[in-house]
Amino acid sequence: MARADVEPTRPEGDLDPTDPWQREAQTFPRLSEEMVERASRYGGAEELPPHTPVFSRGDRGRDFFVILEGSIEIFEQDDDGTVRLLRPQIAREFTGELDLFNDRMILVNGRTGPAPTRVVRIERADFRRLVQSEPDIGEIIMRAFILRRVGLIRHGQGAAVLIGQAHSADTLRLQQFLTRNAYPVRVLDTEQDADAEGFLECFSLTAAELPVIVLPGRHALRNPSLAALADALGITEDFDHATVFDVVVVGAGPAGLAAAVYAASEGLQTIVLESIAPGGQAGTSSKIENYLGFPTGISGEALAGRAQVQAQKFGARLAVSREVTGIDCDDLPYRLKLDDGASVRARAIVIATGARYRKLDVAGFERFEGQGVYYAATAMEAKLCEAADVIVVGGGNSAGQAAVFLSRTCRHVHVLVRGPGLAATMSDYLVQRIARSKRISLQVHSEIVGLEGEQGLSAVTWRDHRSGAETNKPVSAIFAMIGAEPNTGWVDGCLELDAKGFVVTGAAAGQGADSPYATSRPGVYAVGDVRSGSVKRVASGVGEGSVVVQAVHRFLHPPEA
Ligand SMILES: Cc1cc2nc3c(=O)[nH]c(=O)nc-3n(C[C@H](O)[C@H](O)[C@H](O)COP(=O)(O)OP(=O)(O)OC[C@H]3O[C@@H](n4cnc5c(N)ncnc54)[C@H](O)[C@@H]3O)c2cc1C
């Protein structure tokens, strides 16, 4: 493999993991002599004999190594001891990937190569200082780490193996969780994949136990809950439950991640609690085209991944698959209750729990959730409906995006709306794309009245409510995008909510002088889609999450009278 010395790096927006030049040169860059010299000041030089282990899959919080001489081999190891060398890293290269910014378990192993090796070992706290104090080196490291994770995902290296029927709701649930948490996964579809049978035999698994997740060196997890899976993969950060955080951000959508970046970068001890995965609703968008700075659009997953790394770079903690179920709001510091029975204490709270899509009001739809009825249209769902007709229900921008995206792979997309058209509810650029596409048709004044199918969805009936005429078509998937409900069940009784359940803030909550994001409780703020009257957009959520931190500071450190 070619190696490249560090050149002046391209701007962040140009990071394109599909460009082979960028991929190799920026994934495994060599620091200049001068950079190595500067980085060395943050750690200590060590001589290591050949084949010395330096880190192992499953470790947490390992050190960062810059190689001065010799090499460090990065490898995977199967349960039977078979070693697969992924890449040797040589002089002036460095080890690590995204896990160095957080406390997750690492995915691969490292050992010194066949020759004696000299390294600079930099401990975790000093690594963070290095990244923040030497921005040119920090940028190279950050870029390399993101690309290394992209590479692991693309090549299924360090991956969990998910075995199940691709169309089953539980297989999709687990695959979505892994993908949205940027965890490499290889899916073996038991209906299609020739290897699947061997796997099942090897682990003595029956079809009834599917889906299962197989991790090297561990028992197979049979249809685990998301929390159990997150714990087994080590992707939830451990934290000391006795700590009183300056600010706890609830929800890691765009608004919560923005709040975490600003709070942590301004020195507040910050933790983000997220029930599923970073990105929120935006994380399920195939392409966000109206977010400033990304003229060709950016997928929600990529945006969320970058924001997460940015927050963690500044020292924010992120606990995923940890749902907040309640809040003791009469005691200060506040106590947030988690679904696993634990609790977290906070001097201030930023609520950024957003919203979720409403369910379809059609008899029997629950039976098809995850196997014909979906609430997101990402590459994963698009694969499930290749060469079939699908329906998108809804007239908002998310429905428009989904229709355009799905029309690339699905045979035909029917967009169903109750109203007379899209103009009043959808951005014009999407309305125009839908109108021009031969593979999308718009059904106005229509609603779904019947679903059919044995294991998965196979046909749908909709009715034109002007004429009463019914249409029945073979359809493999419905994408329901019909407005959102706030995720505020857990604050009920503590904060003032509006008639639809969104959190009331600012003057309406009696806290107007403090901040437009202040709720009816001191030190508790709400930002993004969960806030009553908010504009439901990525940019507005990010804006609110960024500026609320000023109010948090004022609350924690009131100006002297
Ligand atoms: C498919 C789709 C496409 C979209 N496209 C665009 C677009 O192109 N441009 C645009 O500007 N906007 C778009 N939007 C809207 C945009 O995504 C939202 O406005 C934005 O994500 C709101 O951000 P948020 O952080 O306020 O909330 P959310 O994104 O809803 O995030 C809330 C987070 O909180 C977590 N959470 C909820 N309850 C709890 C709890 N009790 N404990 C812990 N965590 C919890 C959730 O899991 C979630 O991760 C789109 C939305 C969708 C669904």
Residues 238 and 231: their CA atoms lie apart, in Å, by 10
Residue 160 CA, ligand 1 centroid: distance in Å: 27
pLDDT computed for residue 218 by the predictor: 66
> Measured between alpha carbons, how far is residue 502 from residues 192, 486, 545 in Å?
45, 6, 16
Torsion sign (Cα): 549, 555, 560, 561: positive
Q: What is the pLDDT of residues 1-33, one digit of tens each?
A: 334 444 333 334 444 444 555 567 889 999 999
Q: Enter the pTM of the model.
A: 0.81
> What is the number of residues in the chain?
561
> Measured between alpha carbons, how far is residue 287 from residues 282, 291, 302, 397, 533 in Å?
9, 10, 10, 11, 25
Does the pLDDT at position 152 exceed 70?
A: yes
Residue 354 CA, ligand 1 centroid: distance in Å: 5
Q: What is the pLDDT of residues 419-438, one digit of tens each?
A: 999 999 999 999 999 999 99
Q: Given pLDDT bands bounded at 50, 70 and 90, which one contains residue 217?
A: low
Residue 303 CA, ligand 1 centroid: distance in Å: 12
Does the pLDDT at position 340 exceed 90?
A: no
Q: What does the mean pLDDT of the chain come to? A: 89
Lookup result for tokens 């085209």: 289
Q: What is the pLDDT of residues 199-216, one digit of tens each?
A: 777 777 788 888 999 886
Mean pLDDT along residues 255-265:
97
- Give, for ligand 1, the residue of 281, 288, 296 to mutate: max count of ligand atoms closer than 8 Å to Cβ: 281
Closest ligand 1 atom to residue 254 Cα is 25
Nearest CA to ligand 1 atom 5: 398
Residues 276 and 236: their CA atoms lie apart, in Å, by 11
Q: Given pLDDT bands bounded at 50, 70 and 90, which one contains residue 132?
A: confident
Lowest-pLDDT range of 4-13, 55-64, 341-350: 4-13
| Amino acid letter for position 226 | L
Mean pLDDT along residues 483-504:
93
pLDDT computed for residue 33 by the predictor: 96
Nearest CA to ligand 1 atom 11: 537
Mean pLDDT along residues 337-356:
95
Does the pLDDT at position 228 exceed 70?
A: yes
Q: What is the pLDDT of residues 76-124, one digit of tens each?
A: 887 777 888 988 999 999 999 888 888 888 889 999 999 999 999 999 9
Residue 275 CA, ligand 1 centroid: distance in Å: 12
Q: What lines the ligand 1 site, CB under 6 Å?
A: 250-256, 273-276, 280-282, 284-285, 288-290, 323-324, 352-355, 376, 397-398, 401, 487, 490, 528-530, 536-539, 541
Mean pLDDT along residues 347-365:
91
Closest ligand 1 atom to residue 489 Cα is 41
Radius of gyration, alpha carbons of the chain: 25
Does the pLDDT at position 550 exceed 60?
A: yes
The fraction of the chain above a pLDDT of 90, given in percent, is 60
Mean pLDDT along residues 403-431:
94
Mean pLDDT along residues 266-288:
92
Does the pLDDT at position 275 exceed 60?
A: yes
Instruction: Give the CA angle between residues 87, 89, 92 to the nearest 5°.
Output: 155
Going by C-beta distance under 8 Å and a sequence separation of 6 or more, which residues neighbour residue 187? 161, 162, 163, 164, 166, 171, 175
pLDDT computed for residue 219 by the predictor: 73
- Between 229 and 199, the higher pLDDT residue: 229
Nearest CA to ligand 1 atom 30: 354
Question: Are residues 53 and 72 in contact, defined by beta-carbon separation less than 8 angstroms?
Answer: no
> CB neighbours (10 Å) of residue 383?
11
Does the pLDDT at position 352 exceed 60?
A: yes
Q: Given pLDDT bands bounded at 50, 70 and 90, which one contains residue 369?
A: confident
Residue 192 CA, ligand 1 centroid: distance in Å: 34
Residues 112 and 118: their CA atoms lie apart, in Å, by 9
Nearest CA to ligand 1 atom 35: 251
Determine whether 311 is exposed, middle or buried from the number of CB atoms within 10 Å of its CB (0-12, 13-18, 19+): buried
Element housing 124 (H / E):
helix 124-133
Residues 229 and 185: their CA atoms lie apart, in Å, by 13
Name the phi and psi angles at 49, rounded to 5.
Answer: -65, 165
